[in-house]
Structure 1
């Protein structure tokens, strides 16, 4: 394998590492950011959501731009934007500036991520080499999820929260300098199509408006004119997006892909699953610091077992179990483990012991390492071969959107419950724990619904008559 391709793979893997790491590195730094910049408890979720909404909503548009103007150009522009936005985030002195910087980081990540895998598969055309390259690429992403919380905690304690963003500057600059000569120059695909900018604007603004309405419920009430008005506007924008996709000549999301019951059901199950679980990552970290008094570095290390078992199971065990027992059985087992995890967290005592109360749920997070690969396989197997790339992009998009919705809804519920308990005279630690209990219980309920949908809708396809004849 020529060294230049290894260098290009290293650049692409580094970009993946920054993207995944940046989704998790902020979680243990959130209390420090809240204290310094004055975020409200519910508004704190925007630190994560601004990134996730931009990332998820613009993935399909970024992939289309790569086809139209060249993947290398989009990759370089995305990496440059992400690096510059990271500096802006580190310099932020107000919530508004930090949220805007996080949104720009999400835009840059969407651009780099959407074309990274496409560049990789053009570099490695021999099946065995391609499998090795994709394994390196995937492992780097899994490592980023594990490293993010530990690194975020160490940097926050040793320096300040700003450095979780500043660290991207040398990495991003190095990636750009190496990418310029290492990545192959590509020509845009001959096409008369256009990028659906209006569709991207509609879905992004619809999601931002909807989550803004949810986050404001704690202050303004669910039945207030503000909440209802913003909710109606969000629904109108999202309905406009669907109408646009049905009528546009070159839609971001051709709706034909949703005609497959398995594709539609797999994406719905995924949204429910990640909505429940990404809040686990945020709220457990907040509980460890705000209730148990852990430092940021201690919190990052304390969260490491969950990331480690997810990575080990997804990379080393899930494929063998899927081969032996089938995707659906592995998915249902993983969802059952995750329900048990959130049920245990919903009973977390105020003065919890790490070894007795926190470590067992962390280890049950292995269910995610079982569920996600099985769910991905089920969803992709329901798509036609011609729509495989589209189905993959949709799956990545719904994953990011599910995370954003979960954090917004469950963080708002936790904050509202905490405020109610505080007003009733409960001690601060007890009120915070009560808020987290409600969020974890609702998350468990979402997973139960996901389990029921998977059981009913994600059945293995019946063999064709010709296959039955051969088997006989």
Structure 2
């Protein structure tokens, strides 16, 4: 299905001469750099979760304010992703990758040295802002560095394993660093990782130089989409404490939606849009992005609720809690490699995504059956199912969402799918946490309160939220089944060829 044509002239680019390793070695070096950058971004979304009790005690952060340690990162990340993608396309991917790595390392160092809540939140927001530059830049580099279908599938399999397993790895690292060193190393660990990524990125060629003056950026679009996403994500966060029907929550959500609608209207008229609508007005790519958003929203509860269940209900240490997620990481790795290299040649992407979402939904149903006396075997079965399902969903959906995109839009296409991931995580955290809190309150309202009853109520709330997560994952599978029109690898290549021809006709 060809994308709508665009009247925006494609800027002429000239490769810059530089000494680089041979092509195969350069691509492997690019993959290492991309995976290190993506690993930092994904790990930082969860690494502080296990460290929150120690962190809040050290900085004397109140219970009401501790959520901002997580949401400051998510708000900055989700709100600036599209701008980061356009920067990658306009100013050069290698240049923006190195800027993002440097800024992320600097913000992480500030966070590790923070002595107050305000300083820590500023550092977390800085991490989110530079992460919003890193994530789409890395994905656009991956999309353009591996034009061969076989190499591309293998590269996306590795990338999907990093994207899917990084969140669980963040929980493990958070537990180990907090228990054996200090919570500050949950921030400082990024500095040597970023330095290594910078060393790997240095020999890579600068692939684009735009002729004809300074590249233009859609400033009104950037303000509107950033403001809209930040307002909506903040509205979801506010719903946790104020309720979905509160005037403040509804006003934030309504304002965010209005800003996004105005953004769409402006993007239709500006000559150099932040988000070329051709990249989303395509049923297959729209279905892939929506599948990512829903799937991440449905499964995010596994990190949020299991962390509290294992530490508060089962009284496990932070390190043991983090280690409990390792089997999920392994399942994500196996599924990602299968979905990236084996299945695409045999099974259409919509089938892979739908079945994977169903497997993850089964895992969430298993979590909903947890009680106070449940053993780790019950948790293990759920984690393996969720990890295997999410590895398949993320790898196939990310590949589908960015495949066949015009090279000039590779960065913004990567930003769109990453925004779907981040906004889905924000939405899922707010929605499922509100559902769990309401279910807990309802449970206690009909029973005599006691310490044991309060524990039972917490577990009941987690179970209800897990059922909702399973339903959202099932919806992700249905979206993929009905919206993604790519029948298989041959059809994907044909569609990409038709898209390319339509742009140059």
Matched residue, 2:382? 361
CA contact (8 A) 2:218 2:273 kept: yes
TM-score (norm 1): 0.85
Shift of 1:182: 2.9
Shift of 1:405: 1.4
Matched residue, 2:113? 91
C-alpha separation in 2, matches of 1:131 and 1:260 = 21
C-alpha separation in 2, matches of 1:133 and 1:323 = 15
Shift of 1:441: 1.6
Q: 1:11 to 1:326 in 2, by over 3 A?
A: closer
C-alpha separation in 2, matches of 1:297 and 1:343 = 26
Q: 1:107 to 1:384 in 2, by over 3 A?
A: closer
C-alpha separation in 2, matches of 1:187 and 1:383 = 17
C-alpha separation in 2, matches of 1:332 and 1:61 = 30
TM-score (norm 2): 0.80
- Which stretch has the larger CA shift, 276-285 or 224-233? 224-233
Matched residue, 2:50? 28
Q: 1:318 to 1:75 in 2, by over 3 A?
A: closer
Aligned to 2:44, the other structure's residue is in SS state helix
CA contact (8 A) 2:240 2:430 kept: no
Aligned to 2:252, the other structure's residue is in SS state helix
**Among 431, 440, 459, the residue aligned to 1:433:** 459
**1:251 aligns to 2:273 (yes or no):** yes
C-alpha separation in 1, matches of 2:195 and 2:340 = 36
Shift of 1:440: 0.9
Matched residue, 2:246? 224
Q: 1:374 to 1:405 in 2, by over 3 A?
A: same
Show structure 1 runs of 5+ residues with no match.
468-472
1:444-469 CA-to-partner distances (Å, cap 9, x unmatched) read 121232233333333555999xx9xx
Matched residue, 1:414? 436
Shift of 1:373: 2.9
RMSD over equivalenced CA pairs, Å: 3.5
Aligned to 1:23, the other structure's residue is in SS state coil
1:386-425 CA-to-partner distances (Å, cap 9, x unmatched) read 8666544422221222112111221233234334545662
Q: 1:323 to 1:40 in 2, by over 3 A?
A: farther
**1:103 aligns to 2:125 (yes or no):** yes
Q: 1:28 to 1:130 in 2, by over 3 A?
A: same
**1:458 aligns to 2:477 (yes or no):** no
Q: 1:152 to 1:175 in 2, by over 3 A?
A: same
**Among 340, 350, 357, the residue aligned to 2:362:** 340
Show structure 2 runs of 5+ residues with no match.
1-19, 495-505
**Among 15, 21, 27, the residue aligned to 1:2:** 21
Shift of 1:84: 1.6
Aligned residues: 463
CA contact (8 A) 1:310 1:367 kept: yes
CA contact (8 A) 2:311 2:318 kept: yes
1:131-162 CA-to-partner distances (Å, cap 9, x unmatched) read 87777666655664453222211001112222
Q: 1:274 to 1:77 in 2, by over 3 A?
A: same
Shift of 1:326: 2.6
Aligned to 2:299, the other structure's residue is in SS state helix
Matched residue, 1:308? 330
Aligned to 1:182, the other structure's residue is in SS state coil
Shift of 1:361: 0.3
**Among 164, 170, 183, the residue aligned to 2:186:** 164
CA contact (8 A) 1:199 1:252 kept: yes
Matched residue, 1:446? 472
